[in-house]
Amino acid sequence: MVLAATVIVFTLLLLLSLPIVFCLGLAGVAGLLVGGYPLQQLGSSMTAASQSWVLLAIPSFVFAGSLMERAGMSTSLVELARALVGWVRGGLGMSVIVVSYFFSDICGSKMAEVSALGSALVPPLKRAGYRAEDAASLIASGTAMGMLVPPAIFMIVIAAVTNQSAVALFLAGFIPAAVIGACLCVLVMVQAHVMGWPKDTRTSFERLWRASKNAAVPMVIPIVILGGFYMGAFTATEAGAIVALYSLLAAKFYYRNVTWMQVLVLAYEAGVMTGVVIILLAVATVFQYLMGLSGMPEFLGWLLTPLADRHWLFLTAVALLTLLFGMLLEGLPAAVVLIPVVFPIAMKVGIHPVHFDIVQTAAVGIGLFTPPLGVGLLMALRFAEVSVWQHARTYWPYMLALLIGLMLIICIPELSLFLPRSAGLIK
């Protein structure tokens, strides 16, 4: 009764287009009132959920990503990607996947990444003869893959929700992202030959050197993140501060195209974004509390018990559920509502927590770019000026490539565990 009332209130508020954070909060209050539980639970749960130290990394990475986008660092990364793979047929399409990997490593925000890559790459893709639908598909699938490349905000939140090391998750994401990226590049190669996509431009050592030199400033960040985490030089929060300071110095003294007023505005927006994330995380704990009282974890445990002996089947079922949540509720609500309920079940059947978190991160990334409601996909379509239904007919091969990559991550746990294990962060 309590859970049913909570879900009904949440659904009605969602249909009224209220922000997710208010839907969760008001539905939680309604559940407490219907169940006769003390409203003090609201304050204590919200306070406890917002006390995680790792959440301090969010404003730094959001600020750094916004500043890099404003300074135009994506442009030099696009040129480097085109110099690397532009000489093969469909090379411009492949460069979208490559630059998505690079830019995810310095951006942190999926929406900022879609905005930067959409504005930088959709026009040249159209000029080269790619259909608008294919341009949108490349941006969407590349950014979905990029969810696994640190410093994704989702990784920080899921680390707090499942009580895992954010550094371990950051390291664990590099190889799975490369695997999904390889699947997408193979698809682009096949599509290029079938549909006659052209080669981008001839490459040369001179062009590659010039592109590498221009991209050296933004490429310092992934090297610092990967190397620093692997050697245990700093935590995720300290890495956020380092990246934010570096991006500020680069924007002001190298690119010199960002004013101090713009810096202050970006800092303000990063603070607002952080507040939204933390409030969302806080109010969702009431939702989790009510689900726990209603027996939802026990029900899901019973439902998933037949799959417990086959970890890959268990992870596939949970990933599909997470993908659906990611499509309907965006990424963060999926993390703070669904994953805390399923995570203890995964631990009980013997799945490694880091592997579980990486699989769910990949599933949420795909969900954000799944038609017809994925919010990231809708934003990519806006840049390409394509309707959802017009695009859906051409997007299924890209979805298939993303799902194949997801299944490889599920079936080969070492893809996720190798780097953090070799760094001594996990057993």
Summarised one tens digit per residue, pLDDT across range 244-282 is: 888 888 888 888 888 889 889 988 888 887 777 777 777
Range of the domain at 27: 1-37
Kindly state whether residue 98 falls inside one of the protein's structural domains. yes
pLDDT > 80? residue 411: yes
Residue 41's pLDDT is 66
Residues 84 and 19 in one domain: no
Kindly state whether residue 154 falls inside one of the protein's structural domains. yes
Q: What is the pLDDT of residues 43-72, one digit of tens each?
A: 766 676 666 666 777 788 888 877 877 787
Averaged over 400-417, what is the pLDDT? Answer: 94
Number of domains in the chain: 2
Measured CA to CA, the distance from residue 322 to residue 344 in angstroms comes to: 15
Measured CA to CA, the distance from residue 99 to residue 326 in angstroms comes to: 24
pLDDT band at 131 (very low <50, low <70, confident <90, very high): confident
Kindly state whether residue 80 falls inside one of the protein's structural domains. yes
pLDDT > 80? residue 304: no
Kindly state whether residue 427 falls inside one of the protein's structural domains. no
Kindly state whether residue 353 falls inside one of the protein's structural domains. yes
Residues 29 and 111 in one domain: no
Measured CA to CA, the distance from residue 215 to residue 83 in angstroms comes to: 11
Q: What is the pLDDT of residues 73-130, one digit of tens each?
A: 777 777 777 777 767 777 778 888 888 887 775 665 666 677 777 777 788 878 777 8
Residue 193's pLDDT is 81
pLDDT > 60? residue 418: yes
pTM, to two decimals = 0.83
High-pLDDT (> 90) share of the chain, %: 13
Residues 28 and 133 in one domain: no
Residue at token pair 């950051």: 170
Residues 73 and 144 in one domain: yes
Residues 18 and 90 in one domain: no
Residues 31 and 42 in one domain: no
Residues 15 and 128 in one domain: no
**pLDDT averaged over the chain?**
80
Kindly state whether residue 294 falls inside one of the protein's structural domains. yes
Kindly state whether residue 120 falls inside one of the protein's structural domains. yes
Residues 29 and 156 in one domain: no
Q: What is the pLDDT of residues 12-23, one digit of tens each?
A: 877 777 777 777
Kindly state whether residue 297 falls inside one of the protein's structural domains. yes
Residues 18 and 71 in one domain: no
**Across 62-66, 139-143, 256-260, 395-399, least confident range:** 62-66
Contact 31, 3 (CB under 8 A): yes
Residues 1 and 72 in one domain: no
Averaged over 171-192, what is the pLDDT? Answer: 90
Residues 98 and 31 in one domain: no
Residue 79's pLDDT is 76
Residues 164 and 44 in one domain: yes
Contact 137, 395 (CB under 8 A): yes
